[in-house]
Amino acid sequence: MRHALRNSLLILPLVCAAAAEPPKLAKEQAARQQIEDAERARAAELAAQQRAASRVAAASAESQKLADQRAAALLRLRLAEAASLDAANRLDELLQKRHEAEKKLAARAEEMQPLLPLIERLSLFPAETVLAVPGRLDDTMRGLLVLKGLARQLQQEAMELRREQAALDNAAAAARAEEPRLAAARAAQATAAAELDRQLGLVEADRERAEIDASSAARRAAGQAAKAESLRGLLHALEVQQRAEEARAREEATRADRQRVSAQAEAPKRRTVDLAGPPVAGTLASISQPRAVLVAPVAGTIVHAWGEETEAGPATGISYHAAPSARVVSPCHGHVAFADRFRSYGMLVIIDCGGGYNAVLAGLEHLDAKAGQPVGAGEPLGVMPAWEPGTGRRPSLYVELRREGQPINPTPWLKASG
């Protein structure tokens, strides 16, 4: 009995160890499985991150490619507009010369009208025939001298008339020769404009999706501002509305911050999205002294300079003559604060260039930009009206640069046109 008890006590630890072995093995297998699952999950996450990074890189590369293509298309359009403007200016000058020649010819013909009977008589009866008329010799000689003088005068008048007719014919021929060149330049301009429009269309849908909130807020601001009675009032209304939107956005951001912190106290800190849309750093946001940093808004020539005397007093902006249907671009990086018809200005665009500066552009026929839209320097805003050379009616683009609502000379800020 004592021997059996001793054997049982010796076997018991072995039995207990054997009984404990399966749970321990199961735990180890479970731990290994968890490690393998975690490694697979981590590998899948890394693969997903790599795929996402690849998509982002591809999208970024495509975006840059499209941006480069738009820049190239805009450059081609500007070159085509410059050629079109040059051809239009030449034709306009030639048509003006033809008009002047027509006026001179008409005036010369009117002057000679009373002399036509005498010219006709002298063509039938030369001056020497007066010698055959009976009368005193001295009267005959005086009559002969008078007729000789008249004949010389009429001959000179006829020569002048022929010269003016030749000048008219030359001007008309030159104008006819210039017309195909203008037509070709306009066709090239239209082709370049169509290519630019195609490039712009590639990104329009993405832009609308990305900016719907900011655009709606800015359009509300622009709608209220359009009720202003003057350009200064318009700018002030936009500024007030912008400050109100910024205050509302700060309140929304603060409230969102509090809600997020209370609900996710242990979550990683993330930057709150500004509900008014991402801020756009304007070209002039950090520049205090005039520098040539603004893009010329149109390919053309300045016809009225800053400070030039006008019927309304010294000009507070500059005016450009451009090619027919020339594309108008933003002179700065920033966002569109206003884009609509406004009072006597017609189609008006205001760009917030940052730092309290606003670029005001008026005289467009139609607009491509929308209120609230961020724009880059050189990005199209709209199109100038078409015009025909020789009509004497040429539309102009009026450009103002304002700092804190007050007009300043934009010339030192502008790069050379082209």
Q: Does 404 have pLDDT greater than 70? A: yes
Residues linked to residue 354 through DSSP beta bridges, in sequence order: 357
pLDDT at 272: 29
Q: Does 357 have pLDDT greater than 80? A: yes
Confidence category of residue 176, pLDDT binned at 50, 70, 90 = confident
Instruction: Select from 210, 232, 260 the last residue of a domain.
Output: 210
Between CA 230 and CA 407 the distance in angstroms is 14
pLDDT digits (tens, 9 = 90+) for 374-388: 888 888 899 999 888
- Rounded average pLDDT over 85-100: 78
Identify whether 385 is part of a domain. Answer: yes
pTM summary value: 0.55
Identify whether 391 is part of a domain. Answer: yes
Identify whether 262 is part of a domain. Answer: no
Identify whether 182 is part of a domain. Answer: yes
pLDDT at 236: 72
Identify whether 202 is part of a domain. Answer: yes
CA 86 to chain centre: 20
- Rounded average pLDDT over 315-336: 91
Identify whether 80 is part of a domain. Answer: no
Burial 238-270 (b: 16+ CB within 10 A, else e): bbebbeebeeebeeebeeeeeeeeeeeeeeeee
Same domain, 317 and 401: yes
Same domain, 97 and 196: yes
Overall domain count for the chain: 2
CATH of the domain at 340: 2.70.70.10
Q: Does 140 have pLDDT greater than 80? A: no
- Rounded average pLDDT over 143-158: 62
Instruction: Select from 155, 177, 210 the last residue of a domain.
Output: 210
Instruction: Select from 210, 231, 260 the last residue of a domain.
Output: 210
Same domain, 202 and 291: no
pLDDT at 125: 56
Identify whether 330 is part of a domain. Answer: yes
The top-scoring range by mean pLDDT among 6-10, 273-277, 323-327 is 323-327
Identify whether 230 is part of a domain. Answer: no
- 8 Å CB contact between 360 and 393: no
Q: What is the DSSP letter of 316?
A: S
pLDDT digits (tens, 9 = 90+) for 64-83: 666 677 777 777 777 777 77
Which residues form the domain of 203? 86-210
pLDDT at 277: 36
Mean pLDDT rounded to a whole number for the chain = 71
Q: Is the dihedral of CA 255, 258, 261, 262 positive or negative?
A: negative
Same domain, 190 and 305: no
